[in-house]
Structure 1
Amino acid sequence: MARIVTASTMAAMDRATMDEFGLPGRILMETAGREAARIIRQHYPLRDTPILILCGNGNNGGDGWVTARYLLGWGAQVSVLLAGSPEKLTQNSLINRSLYEKAGGCVLTADNDSRLAGHRGALQRAALFVDALFGIGLDRDVKGHFATLTDTVRESGKSLISLDIPSGIHADTGHVLGTAFRSDHTITFGFAKPGHFLEPGRSHRGILHTVDIGIPEVIYGKIPSDLACTDPEWAKEILTMRSPESHKGNFGHILLVAGAPDTRGAAVLAATGALRSGAGLLSLMVPEASLPLPGIPPEVMLHTVGGNNRTGFDDTALQSVADLLEGKTLVAAGPGMGTSSSAARILQRLLDCPLPLVLDADALNLLALHPELMEKCCRRPHTTVLTPHPGEMARLCQTSSTAIQQDRIAAAVCLATDSGCHILLKGASTVAATPEGFCRIVTSGNPGMATGGSGDVLCGILAGLMAQGLPADEAVPLAAYVHGLAGDHLAKNKGPIGYLPSEVAHTIPRIIQTTCIPPNRENPGHE
């Protein structure tokens, strides 16, 4: 699983490498610039591509000076535009500017709009821009001639490569700070940053290249990161082949509480997701008024309880819960469950049961509507997973969805650590947070999945994986990763929009086979 670090953690690693390990910052900068130049050479014909490298005053600009020197030595048509003040260059940037100039490099200076306008010809002649303006330390809006330069380059339509992160993107949140580059490639140093994966930063980065700049392994151990992202190698480590002696009892028995009459399809989608992800058995509890359930898999064991068309579940349904909990491995509740007072009493009973619990959709709305239920949820000694989208998250946290979206990682980690629950904050750049404060960013998924029913399928996948024995800290991000990969497969093969959540559910076995589980050895046979 790929490690991710915040800007402050990366800076701490750099400092520790210099101060404790004794590796000079110039060496780190030299390695970063050389590796950046190497990747540029791999993707662009240097002798036929006029390159303009945009440098700021800081160490990101220093990386740019080194990159320029290597490209110049390899025969590239390269110039540097210093967008800052020459007097404010950091020491290492000043040294590397001098080395670049000694190698015969050309430097243009533009520290205000007037001087920038004087270099319009150089900007127009460039076929490739390299962005080394700000890097990962930016924490304020891009303004003045920096904003003019950013907009000019972006609007030119020319190829653009960013060093570390596209300038104007917040490294920790992915937000645009005023204005930002939209790059074809981003070359980041040491480790990837959250802003490479969180929108809109993810859409601005282009192809991401992560390069090793020589930070020693001993430093990694001293400065651990509580962030990671999902990837195929990580998934392969989690999903293993089943024993030939397996039977359905080995893979869990889920009780799914869902499907009020007006939203009965949610129960079908969640049940399908659970079975397609490999759950051994699934019992579905629905109000009798929800029948029939078109499309329900015949493998589902259906249990109808008291209910009506007005409230969904009624109070008589509560009498069936205890019997239905017997022999179950896990409970999932919420998809299309409704928010009636009877549904609230059912949820209260489920919160008391000694089983892992996955709460989605209306179950989350009930927690937000009834603070005493949320308090009970937080006190549960058993594993509990909450799977909100930003609106549901806002209601749970008594804030706005805008506030949640401002820092998705912080919001998810805060709720997870405060509640003791595992949190899956859905949406563009889904994040999974544990009660211990560890967070994984899910790297799969696409906008075509933004349609009603997608969350129900995801709830089912998650319940299915946990029922098979995966711990929540693995199952929660893996469910979202598999779900997103299934959507990506359909977007590639059917088109970017118009495929259905039910199709996503039916694609899951293929995704698990081709992406997550290592190829199986040939079965032994007879000659």
Structure 2
Amino acid sequence: MMTGVTLCKPRKESKVSMEYIVNGSQAREIDRCSIQEIGIPSMVLMEKAAMSVASCIMAQADKKKDHILVVCGTGNNGGDGVAAARMLRDAGYIVSVLVLGQEEHCSEEMKQQISIARHLGVSVFWDNLTGETTFTETSFSEYSIIVDAIFGIGLSRDVTGVIADYINAINRSAADVLAVDIPSGISADTGAVLGTAVKATITVTFGHNKRGLVLYPGTEYAGQVVVTDIGFPEMVTERVMKQSQTFTYTKEDISVYFPNRKKRSNKGSYGRVVVIAGSKDMSGACYLSGEAAYRMGCGLVHIVTAQENAEVIRIKLPEAIVTGWSENVTGEQEADITAAIHKAAAVVIGPGLGQEAGAERLLDLVLQEAKKLPELPVVIDADGLNLLAKKRLYSTLGRQYVLTPHLREMSRLSGKSVQEIADDMTSAVMGQQAGATIVLKDARTLVSDGDWLYINLSGNSALSTGGSGDVLSGMIGGLLAQGCTQRTAATLAVYMHGLTADQYCESAPPHCMLARDILEMIPKIGGNS
């Protein structure tokens, strides 16, 4: 039996390993260009894909004990499966093929693979989907490994009828399941379940990771995802992805994108962050955001908070400058805060701010002064977003802004329901037309300014704790103050924020993590000297 998580190893990464994640149309275009424009034969790519599938199975399957069934559709995904079955049989494994559909409807490559398999004695069963079959659900009990090669990345309709019955039968079986490229029934674009879908132990995907394999719920159906190189030329990928880049980070990217420290420098070399946060009795939010900015390397943090919090913050974070504001925000206080904004390299507003008149006036002040300072990056989080939603200003904020909503805050900002946003987070995060960078926080956080998309693969449920978002806002602000672009600051902070949880959970259970633990983990996950 396959063991799932130890089945095979992902490919080795290069030093600079920002990775592309493709949607269905991009994957098909890379395939088309490689075949039709570059001249790589389709059967060559298919053979390489099949070998990667067969190799993963060979890494763990027992030749004497395991019985393998490859369930195929009539397209090229099925061709990959038939070719893998032939390779497994040639290596001495016990393997059979079940094709769902009629032979005359098979793609040309699939017909060639069937012909080769027959000549080599591979057992091939057929269900022509008209009710005539010698294969029943009880037959699945004979197999310890099932390979899903029914549908590939081109599926756009709901799976129904006999094929849906087969998928459900695969899911009810006790076998380990390996999906070819993507689990059948999962949208390659959104990760949505199209009617029903195969729940795989492992997915071997070709060339590049797919959106549908990393977005929910698709990621829960994919199991362990292994990305294999089958020979797509890099120049083709770069050309296809140039128009709409979707990417993620790996640990090696921290040293590439994190700001460098200068040997001859002072606190002024690394920027000042103004954190406007914390209503009365909400001192924790501004403390967490402020310390996070410091932990990311900014030179100075100036916290603007309710005057009731001022003494607490001076004790908790003595490194910070602290300015208090009263409920009505006096003219003198407004002048002081305005002066602080004009000295800032980045502003963070919103954590624990509340939505009273004083908080609203502070947001108005930031928006007003930001118009005068178009190069000043501004992060709006939490209550700042709720106030922004009331003002209906979401669609007007341009490229100097970074907004960090969770799904419910995004619902208030955009006017869409939480379910609509959850069902298609990509469209939601890329739908703000004025150019602001949106950090849409969820189990799979997405970041975009409408021209590109970052999908975060770090982090876990340990981050589902009060104050976690406050820390993230400060992390983004700390990077912005050091000169990072909105794109780099938002994506790198999100990635590192997730890594703190991953590292924490190496030695403690996720339910124990507190927001202040994130602060303590930041120095342990890297940066630049």
TM-score normalised to structure 1 length: 0.90
Distance 1:106 1:2, change over 3 A: same
* Letter in structure 1 aligned against 2:525: I
Whether 2:266 is the aligned partner of 1:251: answer: no
Partner of 2:8: none
- 8 Å contact kept, 2:125–2:135: no
SS of the aligned residue for 2:351 comes to coil
* Letter in structure 2 aligned against 1:421: A
* Letter in structure 1 aligned against 2:477: A
Deviations, residues 19-45 of structure 1 (Å, cap 9, x unaligned): 222222222212211222122212333
Distance 1:182 1:317, change over 3 A: farther
What is the identity percentage for the equivalent residue pairs of Structure 1 and Structure 2? Answer: 35
- 8 Å contact kept, 1:198–1:428: no
* Letter in structure 2 aligned against 1:414: G
Cα deviation for residue 482 of structure 1 reads: 0.5
Whether 2:205 is the aligned partner of 1:192: answer: no
- 8 Å contact kept, 2:272–2:346: yes
SS of the aligned residue for 2:153 comes to helix
1:400 to 417, 424, 434: 417
Partner of 1:484: 498
Partner of 2:352: 336
**Residues in 2 aligned to 1:97 and 1:128: alpha-carbon distance in whole angstroms:** 20
Partner of 1:302: 322
Distance 1:325 1:70, change over 3 A: same
Deviations, residues 80-127 of structure 1 (Å, cap 9, x unaligned): 111233332111111101111111100122344965684334310111
Cα deviation for residue 296 of structure 1 reads: 2.9
Cα deviation for residue 434 of structure 1 reads: 2.5
**Residues in 2 aligned to 1:117 and 1:479: alpha-carbon distance in whole angstroms:** 56
SS of the aligned residue for 1:293 comes to helix
| Uncovered stretches (5+) of structure 2, i.e. residues with no partner | 1-17
Partner of 1:438: 452
* Letter in structure 2 aligned against 1:147: A
Matches within 5 A, 1:227-376: 227-239=246-258, 241-293=260-312, 296-307=316-327, 317-351=333-367, 352-353=369-370, 354=373, 355-371=376-392, 373-374=393-394
Cα deviation for residue 317 of structure 1 reads: 4.3
SS of the aligned residue for 2:157 comes to coil
**Residues in 1 aligned to 2:178 and 2:150: alpha-carbon distance in whole angstroms:** 12
**Residues in 2 aligned to 1:483 and 1:356: alpha-carbon distance in whole angstroms:** 20
Whether 2:522 is the aligned partner of 1:508: answer: yes
Partner of 2:73: 56
Partner of 2:229: 212
Aligned pairs, number: 504
Distance 1:60 1:301, change over 3 A: same
SS of the aligned residue for 2:454 comes to strand
**Comparing 315-324 with 253-262, which one deviates more in the overlay?**
315-324
**Comparing 104-113 with 426-435, which one deviates more in the overlay?**
104-113
Q: Pairwise CA RMSD of aligned residues? A: 2.1
**Residues in 2 aligned to 1:389 and 1:182: alpha-carbon distance in whole angstroms:** 28
Deviations, residues 63-86 of structure 1 (Å, cap 9, x unaligned): 101111111111111111112333
**Residues in 2 aligned to 1:110 and 1:298: alpha-carbon distance in whole angstroms:** 73
Distance 1:315 1:99, change over 3 A: farther
TM-score normalised to structure 2 length: 0.90
* Letter in structure 2 aligned against 1:448: A
**Residues in 1 aligned to 2:485 and 2:196: alpha-carbon distance in whole angstroms:** 41
Matches within 5 A, 1:407-422: 407-415=424-432, 418-422=433-437
**Comparing 422-431 with 443-452, which one deviates more in the overlay?**
443-452
SS of the aligned residue for 1:457 comes to helix
- 8 Å contact kept, 1:306–1:315: no
Partner of 2:14: none
- 8 Å contact kept, 2:421–2:428: yes
1:89 to 103, 106, 124: 106
SS of the aligned residue for 2:304 comes to strand
**Residues in 1 aligned to 2:130 and 2:196: alpha-carbon distance in whole angstroms:** 16
**Comparing 30-39 with 105-114, which one deviates more in the overlay?**
105-114
Distance 1:124 1:266, change over 3 A: same
* Letter in structure 2 aligned against 1:454: S
**Residues in 2 aligned to 1:341 and 1:316: alpha-carbon distance in whole angstroms:** 17
Partner of 2:6: none
- 8 Å contact kept, 1:255–1:332: yes
1:453 to 462, 467, 470: 467
- 8 Å contact kept, 2:21–2:211: yes
